[in-house]
Structure 1
Amino acid sequence: MGALAQRALHACAELARLTETPGEITRTFLCPPSREVTAYLSAWAHDLGLSVRVDAAGNLRARREGPAPDSPTLYLGSHVDTVPNAGAYDGVLGVTLAYAVAGALRRTPLPFALELLAFSEEEGVRYGVPFIGSRALVGTLDEVLGRQDAQGVSVRAALEAYGLNPAELPAAEVRGPALGFVELHIEQGPVLQAAGAPLGVVTAIAGQHRLRLDFAGQAAHAGTTPMAHRRDALAAAARFVVAAEDLARATPGLVATVGVLNASPGAINVIPGAAHATLDLRHEVDAVREAALKTLLAQAHALATERGVTLTVTETMTQPAVPLDPGLRAALHRAAAAEGVVAPDLPSGAGHDAMVLAARMPAAMLFLRSPNALSHHPDETVEPGDVETALRVAVRTVLALAQEHGAQEHGAREHGA
């Protein structure tokens, strides 16, 4: 299986050359290099004897039919778009490993269909909303068709300009029974590296709260306004930043980030009259995240009141946590153990296509260790040995699912007889 793992890595390197921006890897939704990505993967799919189609959202779907028209489908894959100046493996490795799995099982009978998914968009770079590709499979892409990019081009117009027909989006939806979706992905963080583990099984994709906090005080002369008479908006906001960090450090699994903090009027000798902050709060358990948010907002209001500052909070996004399927997770654990690998459980702090497909079918994720814990960065990397191990675990998982499904079908036939 080493040759197939090498093929998956080689494909990542080849696809990294297909970029909008010379000298870096940048590939946004429906950019011209997307056609070359589709052509490259389509050629590989044809070599594997798979049928190929591009759906109305630009997703490349390579399929091996099941033994009967009503056979369920097992889906494998990830996304092929990138952030600006990206690494070579985020998303793409999950696609190329799916093709490697299909290659390993090319001559193995399966009691279900196998469909490889190369999603056209996941990162949310061009339109500010992610998962355009996977939304098409669950029938929710219509909700964002009117959204415009920085040039005023709507999602609908971009699809049409690419030669796709939004009227055909219903045909992109998953039809018929779905056995599940398994996504292989680099961890994008340090947990597996610190644990010395090549792989991990994702328990849940963390839920998120995103907010904007506007602190309004009074700008005044920095030299002539005594400390007791100040209404310093930035001081209140700064205290909030520390409060968010303190609470996250004290709450297992919680992450809190103030990614934006600015003040006005922004002069060295003027007390800030206004400050604006963002908050990104994540946890795999919704109740924990919601309790933390309640605590932080109470603290923010108290900190503002202490300084004679008003506070306005605007929620910009709420995304519930998505627990992944226990049955598929158990299958991944058993396959890893059979390969002599301890694959610890861990949550995903980032969003992934699996969270979208989980609304329609069982979904699971297998993480590969990120050796330098870098992602969305040119230095993103993987260990070749981890890639081969992940491939072995994925193949073993598919074979186990095949055996389990075959046994269920046999039992159903006997019961019916």
Structure 2
Amino acid sequence: MEINQSASKIMQQANKLAEFTAMEGGLLRAYLTPEHRQAHQQIADWMTEAGLQVWEDSVGNQWGRKVASNPTLPTLMIGSHSDTVANAGKYDGNLGVLLAIEAMQVLSDIDLPFNIDIVAFADEEGTRFNTTLIGSSAVAGCFQSNWLDIEDNDGISMRQAMLDFGLQPEIAGHDQYTKEQLLAYLEVHIEQGPVLESKDLAVGVVTAIAGAKRYQFNVRGMAGHAGTVPLDLRQDALCGVAQMISSIEYFASNHDVVATVGKCEVKPGAVNVIPGEVNFTLDIRSQDQAILESSCVTLLNQLEAIAQERQLTFQSEKIYQAEAVPCNSKLQQQWAEVVEQQTQKEACLLHSGAGHDAMVIAKIADIAMLFVRCEKGISHNPREQVMTSDVGVALTCLVEMVKKLAVSG
């Protein structure tokens, strides 16, 4: 089958996967749901058609293996995730899974010196249990048993959901891989940003995955009557938070970080009452872990100083952290060589501001990622779109990368 036909096939398969949804008029596929089961059965069927041996692991990840006749090297793992956020697009995660399967179809008649394990991770987004990267964490040997007690919005624990799905929660993550088993991990993913489109490039090579920290802040002042308390006697929590948010934006624009205040809850929330309490969040990221750490310390000190100046109380809680992960430099170079050979253009090197399964698999293997251009950088949105021709380029690059690793080890 020609690459263009293969690319069209992948686009049709993405449309098919989008049918497995719990959302009326949109796409939502969460961990350990009927839609998860339906999608993975379909993925397993496609894996079988590509000549792969298929199985489901202890946490519900779907696997397919291209078996080498005489493997002399550790296993090459290629994958991405099959779950989605609410009201999602068709390509985030899913495109990488489909590209990996189709690459095995293209390589079906070629014997390689290693086994290739294709994986569709069952949970990367954390949509149901608000614990991200469950699938890859189990594979990397860092599944936490206390996750089994986390409940979804319906009060169903992960333990019970696993039992309902037909899994055995007591052995979750016990079938993890080790460093000795793996040659490398490759992941193809839509960029989820506008850089490649701005450069008119189909694909780009990822240099690192940004680390992230998330905080929940509580700021308290004094609620009061909007008409009777003079401005100079107020302890307005929202005005203090407004200054804090401006400080966050200014800091991020002058340092190598991105920072976002995504949630802000004002209490009591009445039009004629001075805000007495505000809860807000901060998401801060950098591809350089040292910069991320120092930035968080500096910013928290700045926010505390603003609160003291305005006679407000300030409390902070770190609710999430993930360390920045560099992609393997040798694999980066190899993929850049493939990209330049296939596109006749200099490879674009860029980091990922979003988290990916690769950042967890990096605990047990060298990782490399290839980004695919997406329209206007839109993702986590029904308007998420990729071009069939770009999918063809990504498929060719993945196939050639596998061939290159077969020669170089």
Task: Give the TM-score normalised by the residue count of structure 2.
Answer: 0.95
Give the match for residue 177 of structure 2.
174
* Cα displacement string for residues 29-57 of structure 1 (whole angstroms, at most 9, x for unaligned residues): 12112222122222222222211101111
Q: Mean Cα displacement is larger for which, 336-345 or 186-195?
A: 336-345
1:205 is aligned to 2:238: no
What SS class does the counterpart of residue 314 from structure 2 fall into? Answer: strand
Which digits, 9 at most, give the CA deviation of each residue in 1:256-300, with x for residues without a partner? 111111222222222211112111111111121222222222221
Q: Give the counterpart letter for 1:360 in structure 2.
A: I
After TM superposition, list the pairs within 5 Å mapping 1:152-167 onto structure 2.
Answer: 152-167=155-170
Secondary structure of 1:386's counterpart equals: helix
Q: Tell me, in whole angstroms, the C-alpha distance in 1 between the residues paired with 2:235 and 2:169.
A: 53
CA distance in 1: counterparts of 2:39 and 2:268, whole angstroms: 47
SS across alignment from 1:26: coil
Give per-residue Cα distances to partners, 1:283-324, cap 9 Å, x unaligned.
111121222222222221221122111211111122211111
Q: Distance in 1 between matches of 2:233 and 2:313?
A: 15
Q: Which residue of 2 aligns with 1:41?
A: 43
Distance in 2 between residues matched to 1:211 and 1:276, nearest whole Å:
11
Q: Identify which of 224, 245, 254 aligns with 1:220.
A: 224
> SS at 2:78's partner residue?
strand
Q: Note closer, same or farther for the CA distance 1:69–1:154 as it changes in structure 2 (3 Å cut).
A: farther
Residue 127 of structure 1: aligned partner: 129
* Alpha-carbon distance in 1 for matches of 2:363, 2:87: 31
C-alpha separation in 2, matches of 1:34 and 1:390? 26
- Match runs of 1:258-277 below 5 Å: 258-277=261-280
Shift of 1:337: 1.1
Matched, 1:79 2:85: no
> Is 2:304 the partner of 1:301?
yes
2:34 pairs with one of 32, 35, 45: 32
Does 2:237 correspond to 1:233?
A: yes
Structural RMSD (CA): 1.5
Shift of 1:240: 0.6
The Cα shift of 1:67 comes to: 3.4
In structure 2, C-alpha distance between the alignment counterparts of 1:166 and 1:276, rounded to whole Å: 36
Q: Quick check: 1:45–1:99 contact (8 Å CA) kept in 2? A: yes
Tell me the residue number matched to 1:66: 68
> What are the superposed Cα offsets for residues 137-166 of structure 1, whole Å, 9 maximum, x if unpaired?
112224322222122222222111111123
What are the equivalent positions in structure 2 for 1:399-410 lying under 5 Å apart?
399-405=403-409
Following TM superposition, by how much is the alpha carbon of 1:333 offset from its aligned partner in structure 2, in angstroms? 0.5
1:374-389 pair list within 5 angstroms? 374-389=378-393
Match of residue 292, structure 1, among 278, 292, 295: 295
Tell whether 2:317 aligns with 1:331.
Answer: no
Match for residue 348 of structure 1? 352
Point out where structure 2 has 5 or more consecutive residues left out of the alignment: none
Paired letter, 1:204: A
Is the CA contact (8 Å cut-off) linking 2:73 and 2:183 kept in structure 1? no
Q: What is the alpha-carbon distance in structure 2 between the residues aligned to residue 188 and residue 314 of structure 1?
A: 28
Deviation at residue 403 of structure 1 after TM alignment: 0.5
Map of 2:107 onto structure 1 = 105
Deviation at 1:402, TM superposition (A): 0.3
> SS at the partner of 1:361?
coil
> Across the two proteins, how many residue pairs are aligned to each other?
404
Instruction: State the AA in 2 paired with 1:324.
Output: C
- 1:149-197 Cα distance to aligned partner (Å, 9 max, x none): 1222222221111111234435531155201110100011112111222
Conserved in 2, the CA contact under 8 Å of 1:66 and 1:73? no
- Counterpart Cα distance in 2 of 1:193 and 1:137: 33
Q: Report the CA distance between 1:370 and its aligned residue.
A: 1.2
Q: What amino acid is the match of 2:261? A: V
Secondary structure of the residue aligned to 1:98 is helix
Distance, in Å, in 2 between the alignment partners of 1:185 and 1:49 is 23
Structure 1 residue 70, shift from structure 2 partner = 6.1
User: Offset of 1:224 from its aligned partner?
Assistant: 2.1
Residue 337 of structure 2 aligns with an amino acid whose one-letter code is R
Structure 1 position 60, deviation (Å): 0.8
Cα distance in 2 for partners of 1:21, 1:316 equals 28
Name the aligned partner's letter for residue 128 of structure 1. Answer: N
Match of 2:24 among 16, 22, 25: 22
Provide TM-score, normalisation by structure 1.
0.93
Distance 1:267 1:15 in 2: 45
Q: Separation in 2 of the partners of 1:378 and 1:119?
A: 21
Q: Distance in 1 between matches of 2:283 and 2:174?
A: 36
Give, in angstroms, the shift of residue 393 of structure 1. Answer: 0.8
Q: Work out whether residues 142 and 173 of structure 2, in 8 Å CA contact, stay in contact via their aligned partners in 1.
A: no
CA distance in 2 between partners of 1:6 and 1:171 (Å): 38
Unaligned runs of 5+ in 1: 406-417
Counterpart pick for 1:278 among 281, 285, 307: 281
Q: CA deviation at 1:387?
A: 0.6
Matches of 2:174 and 2:271 in 1, distance apart?
59
Distance in 2 of aligned mates of 1:54 and 1:80: 13
